[in-house]
């Protein structure tokens, strides 16, 4: 039932216009079923955590011409390429696996009191050649900040456009030691986790049309 409800809500967003009129510059807004997961392993154990408590800040270039502002979202992002700002934030305390002890250990490793959010700030994006009729690969260059340490990262994600709605999927690997994080140990077994963490994205967005 939950899946069917989610499906029909999404279908409505894709069939009917989802561009809303807002105050200020045009921007993208996350739809509520967007989610992100972190996956890792230890010698004898794999774990996965999820969160849907994501935050996004975005803004299109205010210098867009009237014609560009009235164009569809696909044209504005792929042809005009005028996304001025894109910041994705993930509250650390919202990342959960369903196992309370494991959640505590993983969250503690990310220093949530000092640095309550994981933040990706886009600096540049580039659409790559697509071999799929519905998904377009895009390379995002930006800064990823985790537990107080920031690094430049290149992400390859895939975008699908449906009228004014966008689906973004993809994954990106990071190594905890690159962010000065000591890999935590799995509860009970006391095995250290591997350094590599895989971040998986499934983001649904709509355009809020500004002035």
User: Which comes out higher in pLDDT, residue 109 or 209?
Assistant: 109
Each residue of 59-98: pLDDT tens digit? 877 666 666 666 666 666 665 557 778 999 999 999 998 8
58 closest CA partner among 90, 91, 26:
26
Rounded distance between C-alpha atoms, residue 120 and residue 152, angstroms: 9
125 closest CA partner among 58, 187, 190:
58
pLDDT for residue 3: 40
3-state secondary structure 29-88: EECCCCEEEEEEEECCEEEEEEECCCEEEEEECCCCCHHHHHCCHHHHHHHHCCEEEEEE
For the beta carbon of residue 10, count every other beta carbon within 10 angstroms.
16
Res 105 pLDDT > 70 = yes
Res 23 pLDDT > 50 = no
pLDDT for residue 6: 45
* Paired residues of 138 in beta bridges: 127, 157
For the beta carbon of residue 95, count every other beta carbon within 10 angstroms.
20
Res 120 pLDDT > 70 = yes
CATH topology of domain 2-209: Lipocalin (2.40.128)
pLDDT for residue 184: 83
pLDDT for residue 78: 61
Among the residue ranges 18-27, 52-61, 122-131, 185-194, the one predicted with the least confidence is 18-27
Rounded distance between C-alpha atoms, residue 188 and residue 198, angstroms: 23
The residues spanned by each domain of the chain are 2-209
Rounded distance between C-alpha atoms, residue 194 and residue 209, angstroms: 44
Q: What 3-state DSSP class applies to 77?
A: helix
**27 and 60 Cβ atoms separated by less than 8 Å:** yes
Res 21 pLDDT > 60 = no
Which strand (E) or helix (H) includes residue 140?
A: strand 136-146
Each residue of 123-150: pLDDT tens digit? 998 888 887 878 889 999 999 999 999 9
Tokens 């983001």 locate to 203
């Amino acid at each position: 039932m939950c899946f069917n409800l989610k499906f029909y809500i999404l279908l409505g967003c894709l069939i009917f216009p989802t561009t809303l009129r807002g105050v200020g510059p045009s921007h993208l807004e996350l739809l509520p079923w967007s989610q992100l997961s972190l996956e890792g392993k230890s010698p004898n154990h794999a774990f996965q955590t999820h969160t849907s408590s994501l935050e996004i800040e975005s803004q299109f270039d205010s210098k867009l011409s009237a014609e560009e502002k009235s164009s569809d979202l696909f044209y504005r992002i792929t042809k005009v390429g005028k996304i001025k700002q894109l910041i994705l934030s993930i509250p650390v305390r919202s990342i959960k696996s369903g196992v309370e002890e494991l959640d505590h250990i993983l969250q503690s490793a990310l220093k949530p009191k000092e640095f309550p959010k994981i933040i990706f700030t886009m600096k540049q994006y580039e659409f790559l050649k697509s071999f799929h009729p519905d998904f377009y690969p895009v390379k995002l260059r930006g800064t990823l900040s985790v537990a107080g340490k920031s690094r430049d990262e290149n992400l390859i994600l895939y975008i699908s456009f449906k009228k004014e709605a966008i689906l973004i999927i993809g994954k990106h690997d990071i190594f905890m030691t690159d962010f000065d994080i000591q890999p935590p140990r799995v509860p009970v077994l006391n095995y250290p986790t591997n350094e590599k963490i895989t971040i998986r994205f499934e983001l649904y967005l709509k355009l809020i049309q500004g002035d």
